[in-house]
Amino acid sequence: RTPWGTVIVAEEAGNTGQVIEIANPLETTGVSFDRNTGIASGGVGAENVVARWAPGRLSFEGIALYESGVMYYGDENRPSQGTPGGAYFKFVPDHPWTGGPPITDLDDSPLVSGSVYGLRLGKRSGNTDYGQGSNTGLGVWVPIPGSNVDLRAAAASLALTGYYRPEDLAIDQAAQADGLVRFCGNNTGNEGDDQNDGETICITD
């Protein structure tokens, strides 16, 4: 549930997964959603279902959504043949939510448009100390231009920090009460390897 009164769901679908936002969910039923076009039709309340392409596409598995509409999320991806695993991303809305009653027009959602950044750890030597071996410590958020971007491909081309199937993000509410941004999730690990059963990853922004 969002602070502005909608519901969001996100697909875990490789590099094509997308965020879907639903208004008036109790009055929306039997609607068909075309994930290729992002168009909802049929049923009751099809106008209440929209695709949100501004945050980009990946295999969504864990979302930390703040009151303003700033959203953190990871790509549930594993390393493959030298390519790092799933990276973490941040969406910053062009028009942050400032509070008030639930929205009645989906065009008023802060998820309509914004900027996406990917996490790259390694700040030594002028932010060049990144790559394999640097998956803890300080880092930077790298801008990712465009909308409806394949974030998995962007993670590889921008050398973002990879994790082993990150998922299940939760906001640190104690930090939030202190006015800080901190969220934690699972670096799932290689489930077939008894010596690599994952770990908790926490990120402070």
Average pLDDT of every residue of the chain = 90
Q: Would residue 6 be called left, alpha or beta, if left means φ above 0 and alpha means ψ between -120 and 50 degrees?
A: beta
169 near 73, Cβ under 8 Å?
yes
145 near 118, Cβ under 8 Å?
no
Q: State yes or no: pLDDT of 98 exceeds 60.
A: yes
Considering just the CA atoms, what is the radius of gyration of the chain in Å?
A: 17
The SS3 assignment for 24 reads coil
Mean pLDDT of 114-125: 92
Question: What is the percent of the chain with per-residue pLDDT over 90, rounded to a whole number?
Answer: 64
* pLDDT at residue 123, rounded to an integer: 85
120 near 90, Cβ under 8 Å?
no
Could you tell me which of 55, 47, 52 has the C-alpha nearest to residue 23?
Answer: 47
Mean pLDDT of 46-61: 95
Residue 185 identity (one-letter amino acid)? G
* pLDDT at residue 126, rounded to an integer: 84
Residues forming a β-bridge with 153? none
83 near 60, Cβ under 8 Å?
no
What pLDDT, in 10s, does the model give residues 183-197? 898 877 666 655 555
Question: What is the percent of the chain with per-residue pLDDT over 70, rounded to a whole number?
Answer: 95
* pLDDT at residue 198, rounded to an integer: 65
Residue 98 identity (one-letter amino acid)? T
Helix (H) or strand (E) holding 174: helix 173-177
CA distance 91 to 109: 13
Residues forming a β-bridge with 40? 33
Q: State yes or no: pLDDT of 131 exceeds 80.
A: no
Mean pLDDT of 76-97: 88
